[in-house]
């Protein structure tokens, strides 16, 4: 593989490796949040700010080094580069976050994510620059470089729209708050008084958790949806919902739990 051919695609690979690192980091963060807290807390904040920081990092700290450095050096090998970029990722994040927010606590809070992103970037980039087939393909079909620069859109579409649409219960815990709210808003109206409660609870895992001998009283108000749900003997005995709390009666009726279970 000639250096000239590699030079024509280094920036494409650099951006694509950043996209892989950003996607992987957010998936790992979501998995960790669910394992530690039962749901992915404030993941939309991490998605937004990590996208901003990694775009700045690519533009300021990646483009110039990848353009100037000799990629035949040992430092770019797959066994070396991930550890170099791990440290570099932490350094770059500390500069950007520290300069923007001037908060040591905030810098240290998200530093592990920056280190993970740096490590994954190194793995991805070291593999991309050694792929003769891919380098030749992009040199022969330069229009395909545009697909690589659009790469962040694909995981956003797949993870934040496609999966919540086709498998909402499977991904419910892992989604940002706004998407979880949207799943709740679409799920609650599918049930009615007299239905078993357990299928609804399984559809929204970790959300409708409270149950006392088959009884439950649950109310919630979101930005554009509100509902009140009462369960007796594992059956839905009352369900009201609307676009706001003003459209429903949020009073919990204790007498609905007085009847004995059959």
Task: List pLDDT tens digits, range 75-98.
Answer: 999 999 999 999 999 999 999 998
Supply 177's token pair. 């708050």
Q: What pLDDT digit, counting tens, does each position of 142-166 carry?
A: 889 989 999 999 999 999 999 999 9
Backbone dihedral region of 51: left (phi > 0), alpha (psi from -120 to 50 degrees) or beta? alpha
Whether the pLDDT of residue 106 is over 90: the answer is: no
Q: Read off the pLDDT of residues 163-198 as tens digits, 9 standing for 90 and up.
A: 999 999 999 999 999 999 999 999 999 999 999 999
Q: Where are the domains of the chain?
A: 3-174, 184-257
The better pLDDT of the pair 255, 48 is held by: 48
Residue 43 · residue 30 · CB < 8 Å: yes
User: HSE (CB half, 13 Å, CA atoms) of 85?
Assistant: 30
Q: How many CA atoms lie within 13 Å of 120's alpha carbon, on the beta-carbon side? A: 21
> pTM for this one?
0.89
Q: What is the pLDDT of residue 2?
A: 62
Residue with tokens 């991930």: 82
H helices within the chain, ranges in order? 3-7, 10-37, 43-57, 63-68, 81-101, 104-128, 132-140, 145-149, 153-157, 163-166, 168-171, 177-187, 197-203
pLDDT at 214 over 80: yes
pLDDT at 262: 66
Q: What is the pLDDT of residues 221-241, one digit of tens each?
A: 998 999 999 999 999 999 999
Q: 11: pLDDT confidence band, cut at 50, 70 and 90?
A: very high
Please compute the mean of the pLDDT values over residues 43-60 and round it to a whole number.
Answer: 92
Residue 123 vs residue 213, higher pLDDT: 123
Q: How far apart are CA 31 and CA 86, in angstroms?
A: 20
């Amino acid at each position: 593989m000639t250096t000239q051919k590699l030079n024509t695609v280094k920036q494409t690979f650099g951006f694509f490796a950043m996209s892989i690192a950003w996607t992987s980091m957010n998936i790992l963060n979501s998995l960790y949040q669910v394992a530690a807290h039962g749901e992915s807390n404030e993941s939309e904040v991490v998605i937004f700010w990590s996208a901003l920081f990694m775009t700045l990092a690519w533009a300021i700290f990646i483009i110039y080094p990848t353009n100037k450095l000799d990629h035949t050096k040992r430092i770019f090998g797959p066994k070396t580069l991930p550890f170099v970029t791990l440290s570099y990722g932490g350094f770059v994040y500390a500069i950007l976050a520290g300069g923007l927010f001037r908060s040591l606590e905030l810098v240290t809070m998200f530093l592990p994510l920056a280190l993970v992103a740096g490590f994954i970037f190194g793995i991805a980039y070291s593999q991309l620059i050694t792929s003769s087939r891919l380098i030749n393909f992009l040199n022969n079909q330069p229009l395909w470089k545009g697909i690589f620069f659009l790469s962040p859109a694909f995981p956003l579409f797949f993870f934040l729209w496609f999966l919540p649409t086709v498998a909402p219960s499977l991904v419910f815990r892992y989604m940002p708050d706004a998407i979880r709210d949207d799943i709740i808003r679409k799920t609650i109206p599918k049930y009615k008084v007299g239905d078993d409660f357990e299928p609804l609870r399984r559809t929204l895992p970790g959300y409708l958790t409270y149950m006392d001998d088959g009884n439950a009283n649950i109310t919630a108000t979101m930005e554009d949806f509100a509902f009140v749900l009462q369960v007796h003997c594992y059956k839905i005995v009352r369900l009201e919902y609307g676009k706001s709390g003003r459209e429903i009666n949020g009073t919990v009726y204790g007498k609905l739990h007085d009847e004995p279970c059959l």
